[in-house]
Amino acid sequence: MKATKAVITAASPGQRTLPLQMLVDRDGVSKPVLTIIVEEALRAGAEQICVVVCPGDEEAYRAAAARHASLLQFVPQPAPRGYGHAVFCAREFVGDHPFLHIVGDHIFVGEGEMGCAAQLVQAAETNKCSVSGVQPTRENQLPYFGAVGGRRVPGTQDLYVIDQVMEKPTPTAAEQSLMVPGLRDGYYLCFFGMHVLSPAVMDLLARQVADLPESRSIGFSPVLDELARSERYLALEAQGRRYPIDVRYGLLTAQLALGLGGSDREEVLATLCELLAQRQLGRS
C-alpha cells in the first residue's frame, strides 16, 4: 500500500476557483491553495500528482502550481457528474496502484512534525489496507461531511475499522448506524478530506459509471461503503485539523489556522488581540 501517486479533485463547478485563492502558508509565504495542497502530498511521498479540473481550467491551475507544475498531470472532468466521477476520471493515471486522494477545497494543518497526509500514508503502509482520515465532528456539522461507523482497533487510540459509510447523514440516521464506542456524546467520525485507497476503488467506481445513466451524479461515499464491505478498510483520526474553504468564512478560518500554526504565530496573535481590543473599545 505504498502510495506514490496522488489525486487532487478540483472540478466542482461551484468551487473551481477555490484552489486558486491565495493564502499565507505556515512558512510565511503567500501561495495558492493548490500549491499548499500539492506540497502536503509531496511531503507524504507522492512522486506524481493528478489534478482533476473543469475543462478549460488547465492553464490557470498550471500557473497556480508554479514550480511544481512539471510534477502535475491535469485531467478534465468532461461533465459535472459528481465527486465519485471526478475521482474516476483519474483511473488511467492511477492504474493498478494505491493512491493518496486529497480534496481541493480543504486546508489541512497538522499538529506535529508529520503532515496529515503523511500520517495516512504511513498508516496505510503499516496496515496494508485503505485508510481514510477522519475527525470527530459535532452532530450539527453532519450535513457537510461523509461519516463512518465502526469500532476502535484494539490497542490503538486513533485507528478504527470502518463498517459503514454514509454521505451527509441526518442526526437520526447517524445515531442509528454510525455510533462509535469511545467518542463523546453528539460526535461522529466524519471524513477529513484525505484518503489512501487501494485500486479496487476504481473498479467499484467503474461499475457505478457503467450502471448509472449519464444524467445521474456518482457519489463517493456509497463506493467507500461498498469498499468497507469487500475488504479491510480503516479510519485514522489524524493529528491535525481540516478547514473547509467552501463554507462561509472558510478562507478566513483557514488563514487564521495557518497563521496560528506557523512561523508568524506571535505576530498573528498580537494582531488578533489588537483587533479584538479595538472592537471592545468601540463598544464602550
DSSP per-residue letters across 82-145? -HHHHHHTTHHHHTTS-EEEEETTEEEEESSSS-HHHHHHHHHHHHTSEEEEEEEEEGGGGGGS
Q: What's the grid cell of residue 99?
A: 493512491
Instruction: Provide, rounded to the nearest whole percent, the portion of the chain with pLDDT above 70.
Output: 100
If you average pLDDT over residues 150-160, what whole number do you get?
Answer: 95
Higher per-residue confidence, 44 vs 284? 44
Other Cβ atoms less than 10 A from the Cβ of 40: the count is 23
**Average pLDDT of the residues in 200-212:** 95
Using the predicted structure, report yes or no on whether residue 282 has a pLDDT greater than 80. no
Average pLDDT value for residue range 72-79: 96
Give burial (CB, 10 Å; 0-12/13-18/19+) of 233: buried
Answer whether residue 273 shows pLDDT above 70: yes
- Please give the average per-residue pLDDT across 84-93, as a whole number: 97
Query: If pLDDT is split at 50, 70 and 90, which confidence band does 1 have?
Result: confident
Q: 284 pLDDT band (50/70/90 cuts)?
A: low
Alpha-carbon span 260 to 48, nearest angstrom:
30
Q: What pTM does this model have? A: 0.94
The answer to whether the CB of 187 falls within 8 A of the CB of 139 is yes
Q: What is the mean pLDDT of the chain?
A: 95
Q: How far apart are CA 140 and CA 247, in angstroms?
A: 14
Q: Which domain holds residue 13?
A: 5-283
Give the pLDDT score at 215. Answer: 84
Residue type for position 86: A
- Whether 283 has a pLDDT exceeding 80, the answer reads no
Average pLDDT over residues 98-113: 94
**Alpha helices (H) in the chain, listed in sequence order:** 33-43, 58-65, 83-88, 91-94, 116-127, 171-177, 200-211, 221-230, 250-260, 265-283
Size (the chain), residues = 284
Name the percent of the chain lying above pLDDT 90. 90
Contact 220, 84 (CB under 8 A): yes
- Residue written as grid cell 495557518: 258
* CATH for 95: 3.90.550.10
pLDDT of residue 92: 97
Strands 72-76 and 240-244: unpaired
Q: What is the spatial distance between Cα 75 and Cα 66, in angstroms, rounded to a whole number? A: 17
**Measured CA angle at 97 (ends 15, 155), to 5 deg:** 90
Identity at 197, one-letter amino acid code? L
Mean pLDDT of all residues in 49-67: 96
Single-letter amino acid, residue 202: M
pLDDT at 90 over 70: yes
Please count the structural domains in the chain.
Answer: 1
Distance separating alpha carbons of residues 145 and 219, to the nearest angstrom: 12
Q: Up-side HSE of residue 271: CA atoms within 13 Å toward CB? A: 8
**pLDDT computed for residue 172 by the predictor:** 95
Task: Name the packing angle between helices 58-65 and 33-43 (round to 10°).
Answer: 60
